[in-house]
Structure 1
Amino acid sequence: MKYIYELHKTMLQQNLILVYEGEFTQEITKSVLAMAERNMESVGEESNIKRKVFNVMVECLQNICKHADEISLEENMKNSAIFMIGKHANEYIITTGNPINNDKVGGLNNKLEQINSLDKEGLKALYKDIIRNGDLSDKGGAGLGFVDMARKSGQKLEFDFQPINDKISFFSLKTTIPRVNTNE
C-alpha cells in the first residue's frame, strides 16, 4: 500500500491536478474535460487561459482517441494511454502518452520538428496551408491539432519516443500553456 502514498507525493510534487490512465473513449474524454474545467473554475482561472487550456486538452485527447494505434502489449495495456494536467504558479502543463507503431515514429517526429521550427506567423501559415490543401487524413489529422496546440500555447511542443520493443514505441507529448494573458 506504500505505492499509493508514493504516487500521492509524486502528484503533489509535480503539481498534478488530474491524471487518467487507461482506455480512452469519447465518454471518458468528456468526463476528463469536465473535471479539468471544474477545477479551473473553482480556482477562478481567467476565461482566456481556460479557453486555451481547454482547447489544448481537447486536441490532446482527440489525438489519443483517434490516432492511438490498436496495440496489445499485454492484455492489461491494450489501448492504454495516459493524460495528465498540472498547474503551476505561471503555467499549465498538459502531458499525454500512448503506444504507437514504430513505423509512424519518423513521420511524427518530422512533423513535430517542423512545427517547433516555426514562429507565430509560420504556424499560422502552416495551419492555413493544411486547411486550404485539404491535406487531412481519414482520421482528420495531417498535424492540424499539433499546429493548433503550438499556436494556442505559444510554446514549443516537447515530445519523446521511448522504444518498447522492435514494433512499438511510447509517444509522450508535453504542452505548456502560460497562465499570463498573452494575446494570440
Structure 2
Amino acid sequence: MKYIYELHKTMLARNLILVYEGEFTQEITKSVLAMAERNMDSMGEESGIKRKVFNVMVECLQNIVKHSDDFSKQSEQKPTAIFMIGKQDNAYIITSGNPIKNEDVDNLRSKLDQINGLDKEGLKQLYKDIIKSTSLSEKGGAGLGFVDMARKSGNPLEYDFERLDDQYSFFSLRTKIAKE
C-alpha cells in the first residue's frame, strides 16, 4: 500500500495533472481529453493556451492509438502506452510513450530531427509542403502531426527510443507548451 503514497508524492513533486497508462482506444482517448480539459478549466486556464495544449494532446494520443494498432497486430502482448500532462510555473509538459517497430525508428528520428532543426517559418513551410505533396493514408504517417505539435508548442520536440526487443522500441516524446 505504501507505493500508492509514493506515487502520489511523485505526481505532486512533478506537478502531474493526469497520468494514464494502459491500452489506448478512441473512447479512452476521448475520456483522457475530457478529463484534461476539465482540469484546465478548473484551474482557470486561458482559452488560447488550452487550445494549444489540447491540439498537442490530440496529436500525441492519435500517435499512440496508431502505433498501438500496429503493435497489437504484430505481437501477442497487450499494447501498453503512457500519457502524462503536467504543469510547471510557466508551461504545460505533455509526455507520451508507446512501443513502435524497430524498423520505424530511424525514419521517425530523421523526421523529428528535421522538425527540430527548423524555425517558425521553416515549420510553416514544411507543414504546407507536406499538405501539398503527400497523399496521406487514413493513418497519416507523413509527420504532419509532429510538425503541428512543434508549431503549436513553439519548442523542440524532445524524444528518446529505448529498445525493447528484436522487433520493438519504446518511443518517448515530451512537448513543452509555454504559457504566454
Instruction: Report the TM range for the smaller structure's normalisation.
Output: over 0.9
Contact 2:81 2:97 in 1 (8 A): yes
- Structure 1 residue 74, shift from structure 2 partner: 7.0
Code of the aligned partner of 1:121: E
Q: Please name the residue that 1:123 is paired with.
A: 123
Code of the aligned partner of 1:70: F
Count of matched residue positions in the alignment of Structure 1 and Structure 2: 178
5 Å-filtered alignment, 1:129-168, equals: 129-168=129-168
Unmatched runs of 5 consecutive residues or more in structure 1: none
- Structure 1 residue 141, shift from structure 2 partner: 2.6
Contact 1:67 1:139 in 2 (8 A): no
SS in 2 for 1:160: strand
Moved more, 143-152 or 58-67: 58-67
Deviations 1:139-165 (A, max 9, x none): 123000000000000000000001112
Q: Please name the residue that 2:104 is paired with.
A: 104
- Structure 1 residue 138, shift from structure 2 partner: 4.2
In 2, the alpha carbon distance for the partners of 1:130 and 1:49 equals 26
Moved more, 20-29 or 65-74: 65-74
Deviations 1:24-60 (A, max 9, x none): 0111001000000001111110110000000000110
Contact 1:130 1:136 in 2 (8 A): no
Unmatched runs of 5 consecutive residues or more in structure 2: none
Q: Please name the residue that 1:85 is paired with.
A: 85
Deviations 1:5-27 (A, max 9, x none): 11111111110000000000111
In 2, the alpha carbon distance for the partners of 1:100 and 1:118 equals 25
SS in 1 for 2:71: coil
In 2, the alpha carbon distance for the partners of 1:159 and 1:110 equals 12
Deviations 1:89-128 (A, max 9, x none): 1000000000111111000000000000000000000000
SS in 1 for 2:89: coil
Q: Please name the residue that 2:174 is paired with.
A: 174
SS in 2 for 1:151: helix
In 1, the alpha carbon distance for the partners of 2:33 and 2:10 equals 22
Contact 2:67 2:99 in 1 (8 A): no
In 2, the alpha carbon distance for the partners of 1:170 and 1:46 equals 34
In 1, the alpha carbon distance for the partners of 2:26 and 2:81 equals 14
CA RMSD of aligned residues (A): 1.4
In 2, the alpha carbon distance for the partners of 1:101 and 1:70 equals 8
SS in 2 for 1:24: coil
In 2, the alpha carbon distance for the partners of 1:41 and 1:138 equals 32
Q: Please name the residue that 1:70 is paired with.
A: 71
Contact 1:52 1:152 in 2 (8 A): yes
Contact 2:134 2:142 in 1 (8 A): no
